[in-house]
Chains A and B, each alone.
Chain A
Amino acid sequence: MSLSTDAEQQVFAPADSLLRFATAGAVDDGKSTLIGRLLHDSRSLLADQLEMLELAGKERGDEVLDLAMVTDGLRAEREQGITIDVAHRYFETARRAFIIADTPGHAQYTRNMVTGASTADLAIVLVDARNGLTEQSRRHAVLAGLLRVPRLVLAVNKMDLVGYDQGVFDEITAEFARFTDELELRDVAAIPISALRGDNVVHRSAEMPWYDGPALLEHLEQVHIDDDRSAGDFRLPVQYVIRAQGQDYRGYAGQISGGRVHEGAEVLHLPSGLRTRVTSVDTADGALAEARAPQSVSVRLADEIDVGRGDLLCAPDAAPAAATELSVRVCWMSAKSALRPGARLLLKHTTRTVKAVVTEVHHQVDVTTLRRDPARELGLNDIGEVGLRLAQPVFCDPYERNRLTGGGLLIDESTHATVGAVMITEAR
């Protein structure tokens, strides 16, 4: 094996935009095959990876290349042919770079879908054309909606097994549209594919002349990534105070989690409620005239205010709530204990970690029908609405306004396990 140095060498012109997407599908919907197909047909798999696939296939007596093997990274996954945990894959085309959060389909791994979706710009929900919408597909769409993933693709897979029938596709998309109306999903595309055969994954298929939309990869390359984060109100959770001895430097470092900030901007400091001005927005590469989410910067302020980790700098006319009472949507992630009123936990929110107690469980959300059912407690993978009382205020927005200042983790104080994902709905 050697590096190619011949004429086919291409000029390296990497796509500059980045799309993060999560894939969701039930166990046998072909999710791993789809990812394998995307990587294979976009020529993102290299010779040694293909060799390894072929070798593994031969050992198992497979006749065709099993693309699903590309993604299953753990021994147990390969042995059992299932995906246990989120894996991240990377590939790029001439137009764009992609990060795939490959999330398992088993119901017991809902927490992993939540994990993958929390940072995704787009979610692909994979459905087996033969089965139509199952409880799992509904669950995945609901989770994408709850986590406010801005864009969704319904990929109707295994079209080859239903004779590439337009009627099947139309029926599934219509049912999906009725269902997602309630989810407030803004941008939904439906694409008929066969991951196994490669129809409409990277290349448009000749088998489905009735479909005139883009292949999946074309859609992923073209979908508009709007700057949701930098369009909102300015928020900078203070992460770290940088002081340089002998230089009289005092900067407040953090990742901007909403909006933008510029030199000279007036900002409000929480919890003090004092207003001051930004004298400079610094990076190691020089000061910036303006910075926006999600840039990591360090800002200096005109006045000497006592600012530390866990504080927040924000737009003075659009401050978030400083709240000690929260109503939150929770995805409970612990198998060892249930979430019950009276439970004492830690809430990690932006750069602040505070003690929290569960005041009440309002209801549980049936994630296949969106119905609110009365509940006394939440078990593993349940999603519901609960009340929290905090020992100290957090500076927060509703999750639907800002995924970063509206989201949080629940941590078990004694085991230190992350036991819940929190989306703030109301704060006071």
Chain B
Amino acid sequence: MPAEPALSRLDILESEALHLIREVAAEFDRPTLLFSGGKDSAVLLRLAEKAFWPAPIPFPVLHVDTGHNFDEVLEFRDRRAAELGVRLVVASVQDSIDAGRVVEQEGRGASRNRAQTVTLLDAIGEHRFDALFGGARRDEERARAKERMLSFRDAFGQWDPRNQRPELWNLYNGLISPGENVRAFPLSNWTERDIWTYIDQDGVELPGLYFAHRRKVFERDGMYLADNPFVHRDPDEPLVEKSVRFRTIGDMTCTGAVPSTAATVAEVIAEIAATKVTERGQTRADDRASAASMEDRKREGYF
């Protein structure tokens, strides 16, 4: 008898993710899923769809909109939410600024990334969310490597890396008091390649930005930023049109494009296999600020 093939690693990672998604749905009153329209949250949304199939996803999705997003991503976000029949809650950083809850950064490297945390925590309070699914992966960044799959946050949304709940076997302690919340990361153990392999295998749809297209960009600190009205471009930063794609998608002010001709999922996978630079190192200006910038933001309540 031929040996039974072992479960593939994507089978195992998918099973683990479905298990966590169902645990959170079973144990919490008001969960939500953070959906930004990026590739990780697109995979996360697909997993949520699978976890409850054939029933619909039993919680709303939440987007923290910095106001500096790509139009293509917002279109994708709205369309996917409508197709799945899930309620989309949009929390707007612009609203937080208008209300005087945060002060907008100014200057050359200004970004709304830190402001997002305030908007997120306000949305949690307003909607009384007690559990938030995020698409964060531990391979992204070294502070994230320290994160639990189910991560406790106090009433101020703070993460205390020195005082995390031990996670053993497939057991997650989801007990919290009113005002506290948890962040659930079903993709914790996935790598960038796992995400793309899954997108390929499962036919997960993504915004077109992830594939090579011609776009007007300008070079800053070794990255190509998309021409956009939210970033002040210096005279010595000329616009050029290039074939590029985005490896991560976030705020237009801090997400860099990479030169690429990869137009299909298979070509993207081949490109990633050969890359010499990590996803964040290549395309996230905000993480370069200091060795601990992600850790600092997470402590404040960022996901």
Contacts and interface: CB of A to CB of B under 8 A. Distances in A.
Given A3-B260, A48-B282, A295-B7, A416 B173 contact: yes
B270 A348 contact: no
Given A73-B142, A239-B19, A255-B15, A48 B168 contact: no
A2 B197 contact: no
A118 B157 CA distance: 28
Contacts of A48: 277-278, 281-282
Interface stretch (B59-67, B118-126, B187-195): B187-195
Contacts, number: 213
B146 A85 contact: yes
B16 interface: yes
A86 B146 contact: yes
Given A3-B271, A17-B9, A115-B168, A90 B138 contact: yes
B25 A88 contact: no
A255 B55 contact: no
B272 interface: yes
B170 A404 contact: yes
A9 interface: yes
Interface stretch (B45-53, B98-106, B109-117): B45-53
Chain A interface size, as a band, is: 35 or more
Interface in B101-155: 138-139, 142-146
13 contacts: A14-B9, A46-B276, A75-B292, A76-B162, A88-B189, A112-B166, A115-B166, A254-B19, A255-B15, A283-B50, A348-B171, A348-B173, A416-B175
Nearest to B275: A3
Given A1-B222, A73-B143, A247 B166 contact: no
A166 interface: no
A47 B273 contact: no
A296 B168 contact: no
A294 B16 contact: yes
A416 B275 contact: no
Given A1-B222, A75-B295, A90 B191 contact: yes
A409 B54 contact: no
A242 B193 contact: no
B261 interface: yes
Chain B interface size, as a band, is: 35 or more
Contact of B26 (A85, A239, A348): A239
Interface string A270-307: 00000000000011110000001011101000000000
A14 B258 contact: no
A387 B90 CA distance: 50
Contacts of B146: 73-74, 85-87
A17 B258 CA distance: 31
Contacts of B222: 1
Q: Which of A73, A75, A86: most chain B Cβ within 10 A?
A: A73
Interface string A238-253: 0110111101010001
